[in-house]
Chains A and B, each alone.
Chain A
Amino acid sequence: METIVEIIPASDSSLLVVFGNTISPAIHRHVITLFHALQSRHDPRIRNLHPGYASLLVDFDPLRLTHDELSAVVRQLALAADPPPATDASVVSIPVCYDIEFGPDLLDVATHTGLSLDEVVRQHFSPTYLVYFLGFSPGFVYLGGLPQVLYTPRLPTPRPSINAGSVGIAGSQTGIYPVDSPGGWRLIGRTPVRMFDPEAKPPTRLQPGDKMRFSPIDRARFEEMQHLAEAGLT
């Protein structure tokens, strides 16, 4: 099934395969299908694959592969592979403690949305989210599916330092800070799970195309899980 809108050289060493210009799970399935098809070839001439909302950037070694050769491979794969049905992916559960200490912006989100604290939390953990892609920092997931009632603008001034595991909201997006970093998202909770571990295989808890849910845990469970994570037992 031909689904590619265009294939553009993004640089002398990369090709951008575009499937559309909207954020939709249907278009994204084509991105992920091509991503998996290319990944499974283990072609040493292909160096990196960058899925986006509606495109896949393929970075390659231009001394060993040309744009034209790669375009032909991509077109052939796109014709051959139909994306699997939407229900295929299993759902990864990420525990989150929505304690006010971990979610210093919970009150702001409640004020902005006009919801109670409990309702903010319930709205956040209710949906199943789609991992569109990762970026910004190692393991940082861009999730689709935040309920519109929770949309809240990011902080006017980013925090210089945010703890790894912090869960935040920025506009229509929600996500998890995988490593200590600066950031401007409104923080509403924290996961004890290590979202990024450079020694683990794979090094990130979530992959592009995964489905995920946030599951609420209390403070005691958070601390128990954090101890286990620190001991390398999760």
Chain B
Amino acid sequence: MTIRVAKPGLFTTVQDLGRYGYAHLGISSGGAADPLSFRIANLLVGNRQNAPALEMTLLGATLEFEESAVVALAGADCECKTGSAEDLANTGFEVPAGAVLQCGNITGGVRCYLAVQGGLEVPLVMGSASTFIPGHFGGFNGRRLQSGDILQVRQHGSLPVRSLRPGSLDSTRTPRPLRVTKGPQQDWFEVDAFARLFSTPYIVSEQSDRTGLRLKGAAVRPRDNSELLSDGIPLGAIQVPQDGQPIILFVDQQTTGGYPKIANVIAADVHRVGQLRPRDEVRFVEVSVAEALQALAEQERWLREVFVA
């Protein structure tokens, strides 16, 4: 079964939950920028959580379905039409054979995920289906989708379609500060740098993508100008170059770097970073590593309890 890309949207790629075990070769983990929504989209159609699916950015794709298929959308809101009038959010739904699924503007965030029952079929590169744009590999031919591309859907047996409990996404959408733990180079910064980081808003700049989000706001300059020896960068690290303007390093980031890292977004909030738009306001709040891990455990529990058959 195939899907033809009539219009690719602004920036649509095939993703999964990432490529691990190659950071020492300069290859970051990549994968869905909002992994929580990605997993929800797959679970709605009965897929395994890591099944390859589409990540659509700001403007969705228009797709022609050769045969009928069960699909689901999750993440930011997406105006979506198939010609029928059903409620398409929060549930897996059927696209009839020959139908065109038109995904329009994506609002209330940046990225919307489209999962197809069975999952998309792309060759695994280094064990992952995710598209790594800076390295020109993975996903669909190592690039974003273009008009005329033909996507293959995996053959599959019967899979359970699920729905989300009504209102269950409200908690993930309430605006609140990004939770961070202090970074490995916290000693490189004055105490008042943390005071500024945790008390003033930052604005997401236009120069933001899957490699990182550049922020503008109160400068948090390192106290000494000597250069840090380049070291490894964890996902969600907040590094600060000489100008004091923080950069959140993101899924397609460099694996090593030489700027000091003041803080790190907690794993449970990575999905929120994936939905930040240019010009959005961001605030940070410090939590302990123990609190961060508790939040992650709670998120996993929430994900197990949020579906109805």
Contact = CB atoms under 8 A, between A and B. Distances in A.
- B is bound to A: yes
A202 B152 CA distance: 28
A62 B183 contact: no
Nearest to A14: B234
B229 A138 contact: no
Task: Determine which residue in A54, A133, A179 has the highest number of CB atoms from chain B within 10 A of its CB, and name it.
Answer: A133
B235 A16 contact: no
Interface in A1-45: 8-14, 16, 21-23, 35, 39
Interface in A131-169: 133-140, 142
Contact of B231 (A47, A50, A138): A50
Task: Determine which residue in B234, B237, B261, B265 has the highest number of CB atoms from chain A within 10 A of its CB, and name it.
Answer: B234
B26 A16 contact: no
Interface in A42-58: 47-57
A208 interface: yes
B177 to A, nearest CB: 16
Given A13-B235, A16-B231, A51-B232, A67 B289 contact: yes
B237 A10 contact: yes
Contact of B296 (A53, A63, A204): A63
Nearest to A132: B230
Nearest to B294: A12
Interface of B: 20-27, 29, 125-126, 132, 134-138, 142, 181, 183-184, 229-237, 254-257, 261, 264-267, 289, 292-293, 296-297, 300
A11 B237 contact: yes
B229 A134 contact: no
5 contacts: A12-B292, A51-B232, A53-B231, A134-B256, A198-B126
Contacts of A49: 23-24, 232
Nearest to A8: B184
Contact of A198 (B137, B256, B265): B137
Interface string A205-224: 00110000000000000000
A80 B293 CA distance: 30
B269 to A, nearest CB: 10
Given A10-B184, A11-B235, A56-B232, A198 B26 contact: no
Contacts of B183: 10-11
A181 interface: yes
B231 A57 contact: yes
A137 B134 contact: yes
Contacts of B136: 179-180
Nearest to B136: A179
Contacts of B231: 16, 50, 52-55, 57
A199 interface: yes
Contacts of A129: none
Contacts of A50: 23-24, 231-233, 255-256
